[in-house]
Each structure stands twice: as structure tokens, then as C-alpha cells.
């Protein structure tokens, strides 16, 4: 059983690689190198600040875009192109298909992030000419970014399981944006009354909350990240992704594949 998932995951990964998705890394590398060189012309003090901020922001944004664009195609494209039929006519359960796709996509993003991280460290070395202990905090920021990706992947799969590629992309991206200011939503809920309060609170907990995942600004100033936060974020990401994936499975199990 786990084998089917592993096979589907590795096939999904292979698809991403052959689809030249990883070529986005080239664009990323160019962007980062250009920025690193340019930044040297502004004040010396904030060279490092800019490289870390820009680098990690780019890793985050590039990754989310990839997660959405590949993720939404994962199921919709397979149905459209009927590659799904020959897979499901085998002893593969529908839920295994969804879970396998998830891990394949997540794996692709982790590898992508890994290469991007190398780029960020290289740019950092270029401007600072050395590494300090505090630079290890960058790994924490990257870890949080990867957790964000897991959530976005799961959401992309969820929408992909019932919606067209275009709509799925719109939904997924909207949730990513909303998730960035989920805190505001909660504040709004706290101030509202009656039904709208109930509604807003529900929404605030239903949408993904990315505000706790973005530590780029603080680690750029070498501020440590609480171990508790790392643990909490990990738990949240795992459960949220599980929630979205279960939703995807529920929908997909019942769907007529016309």
C-alpha cells in the first residue's frame, strides 16, 4: 500500500523535473546575483540585510507559485489527459493517488528550496565574505518556508480535486494572500458582534495562517527563533495539510471521472 504512494510520488517528482520546472532556479539565481551585486552600491550596513530579505522572499514566492501551478495541474491535468484512467484501473486506491501526488509535489519543492538555499548562501558569502553563527538562523526561516509549501501544496491538491485548473489557481493563490493577513481577520473577528463575529472567527481558523511562518525580518537581524515556535508551526502545518488533504480525498473518492 505504501508502495503505491511511493511510486506515485516518485513519478510525480520525475514529471516535475522533466517538465523543466526546476529551470525556475535559473531565473532565481540570476535575480539573486543581480541583486547581490547591485546592493553593494547602497549602504554597507544593509547589504546583508537586503540579501537575506530578498533571497528568502524570493524563495518563498517562487516556491508558492510553483506549488500552485504544478499542484493545480496534478489532478485536473491527469483527468483532462486521461492518464488517470489507466492508473486507477490498477490496484491503486484513489486516496493513495492523492497522497502520492502530495508527497511528489512536496518533494519537488524541498529539492527546489535546497538549491535556492545554496544560491542565497552564495550571495550572502559574496556580500559578507564570511559566515557567522547567526547565519544558521537562515535554515530556520527556510524550514518555515517549506512548511508553508506543504500547506499550499495540500490546498492546491484540494482545489484540483474538483475544480478546473484556472479556478484552482485563483482559489489557491487567494488563500495564500488571505493567509498572509489571517491575523487581521482574527482581530476583525474579535471586534465584530453576533453572526459576523461567528463567521469571521470560523474563517480565521479555516484559512491558513502564515503570519507565524514568516520570520525573515527578524532572522535578518540575527534574532533567535523560539524552539517552541518551531514546534508549534510544525504541528500546525502537519495538521492543516492533513486537513486539506483529507478534504481532497473525500471529494476525489466520490467524484465521477467523466
Partner 1 sequence: MTPRGKVSSIAGAVLVVSLAASSLALHRTDQLRPQATLDEVLFVSSPKVIKRADLGFDGLMACIYWTRAVQYFGFRHHNFATSYNLLAPLLELTVHLDPKMVVAYEFGTSFLAPEPPHGAGQPQAAVDLVNYGIQNNPGNWRLYYDLGFVYYMQLHDYPHAAETFEKGSHIPGAHPFLKVLAAQMAQHAGEYQTARMLWSATYETTQDKQIKDNALQHLRALRVDEDVDRLQQAVTRFGERTGRLPGSFAELLAAEGISGLPADPDGHAYRMTPEGRILVRNPDDFPFLTKGVPPGYKPPTKYRQM
Partner 2 sequence: MPAIEILGLEKTYTVGFWRKLPKRALHPLRLSVEDGEVFGFLGPNGAGKTTTLKLLMGLVFPTGGSARILGREWTDPAVRAQIGFLPEQPYFYDYLTAHELLEYYAQLSQVPAKERRQRVEKTLHKVGLREVQGMQLRKFSKGMLQRVGIAQAILHEPKLVFFDEPMSGLDPIGRREVRDLMEQLKHEGKTVFFSTHILPDAEALCDRVGIIYKGELRGVGAIEDLTSRVQGKVEVIWQGTQVPPSIKALGAECKAGGDQVRAIVSENQQDAVIDALRRERLRLISITPVRTSLETYFVEQLRRAETTAGTVA
For residue 72, give the 3-state DSSP assignment.
helix
Q: How far is the CB of 241 from partner 1 (least distance, A)?
A: 19
- Give the angle subtended at the CA of 160 by the CAs of 258 and 111, to the nearest 5°: 130
Is residue 128 a contact point for partner 1 (CB under 8 A)? no
Dihedral sign, Cα of residue 65, residue 169, residue 242, residue 84: negative
Residue 115 CA to residue 160 CA, distance in Å, equals 27
Stretch that binds partner 1, among 40-48, 104-112, 226-234, 241-249 (CB under 8 A): 40-48
- For 23, 62, 103, 129, the CA distances from 6, given in Å and listed in that order, are 24, 26, 8, 42
Quick check: 154 and 245 in contact, CB under 8 A?
A: yes
Instruction: Find which of partner 2, partner 1, none residue 180 binds, CB within 5 to 8 Å per kind.
Output: partner 1
Nearer to partner 1, 112 or 209 (CB): 209
Query: Total residues at the site for partner 1 (CB under 8 A)?
Result: 26
Smallest distance from the beta carbon of 182 to partner 1, in angstroms? 10
- Binds partner 1 by CB under 8 A, chosen from 177, 191, 199, 231: 177
Instruction: Pick one of 4, 33, 128, 180: the residue that binds partner 1 (CB under 8 A).
Output: 180
Q: How many Å apart are CA 231 and CA 21, to the nearest integer?
A: 31
Q: Does 143 bind partner 1 (CB under 8 A)?
A: no
First to last CA, the chain: 26
If one asks whether residue 37 binds partner 1 (CB under 8 A), the answer comes out as no
Residues binding partner 2 (CB under 8 A): 3-4, 7-8, 11, 14-15, 18-19, 81-83, 85-93, 254, 256-258
Of the candidate residues 9, 50, 105, 151, the single one contacting partner 1 (CB under 8 A): 50
Distance CA 214, CA 228 (A): 15
Reading the block at residue 128, the C-alpha cell is 559578507
In whole angstroms, give the CA distance from residue 15 to residue 230: 32
Provide the 8-state DSSP code for 129: S
Q: Does 33 bind partner 1 (CB under 8 A)?
A: no
Give residues in contact with partner 1 (CB under 8 A): 42-46, 49-50, 52-54, 57, 60, 176-177, 180-181, 184, 210-211, 214, 216-218, 220-221, 223
Amino acid at each position: 500500500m505504501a508502495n503505491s504512494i511511493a511510486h506515485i510520488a516518485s513519478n510525480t517528482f520525475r514529471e516535475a523535473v522533466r517538465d523543466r520546472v526546476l529551470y525556475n532556479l535559473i531565473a532565481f539565481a540570476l535575480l539573486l546575483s543581480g541583486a547581490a551585486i547591485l546592493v553593494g552600491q547602497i549602504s554597507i550596513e544593509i547589504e546583508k540585510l537586503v540579501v537575506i530579505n530578498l533571497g528568502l522572499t524570493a524563495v518563498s514566492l517562487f516556491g508558492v507559485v510553483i506549488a500552485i501551478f504544478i499542484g493545480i495541474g496534478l489532478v485536473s491535468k491527469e483527468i483532462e489527459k486521461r492518464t488517470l484512467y489507466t492508473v486507477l484501473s490498477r490496484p491503486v486506491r484513489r486516496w493513495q493517488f492523492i497522497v502520492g501526488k502530495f508527497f511528489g509535489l512536496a518533494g519537488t519543492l524541498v529539492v527546489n528550496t535546497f538549491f535556492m538555499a545554496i544560491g542565497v548562501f552564495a550571495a550572502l558569502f559574496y556580500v559578507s565574505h564570511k559566515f557567522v553563527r547567526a547565519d544558521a538562523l537562515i535554515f530556520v526561516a527556510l524550514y518555515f518556508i517549506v512548511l508553508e509549501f506543504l500547506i499550499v501544496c495540500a490546498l492546491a491538491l484540494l482545489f484540483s480535486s474538483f475544480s478546473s485548473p484556472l479556478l484552482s489557481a485563483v482559489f489557491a493563490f487567494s488563500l495564500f494572500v488571505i493567509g498572509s493577513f489571517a491575523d487581521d481577520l482574527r482581530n476583525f473577528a474579535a471586534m465584530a458582534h453576533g453572526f459576523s463575529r461567528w463567521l469571521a472567527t470560523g474563517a480565521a481558523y479555516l484559512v491558513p495562517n502564515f503570519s507565524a511562518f514568516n520570520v525573515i525580518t527578524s532572522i535578518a537581524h540575527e534574532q533567535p527563533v523560539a524552539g517552541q515556535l518551531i514546534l508549534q508551526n510544525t504541528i500546525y502545518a502537519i495538521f492543516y495539510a492533513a486537513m486539506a488533504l483529507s478534504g481532497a480525498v473525500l471529494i476525489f473518492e466520490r467524484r465521477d471521472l467523466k
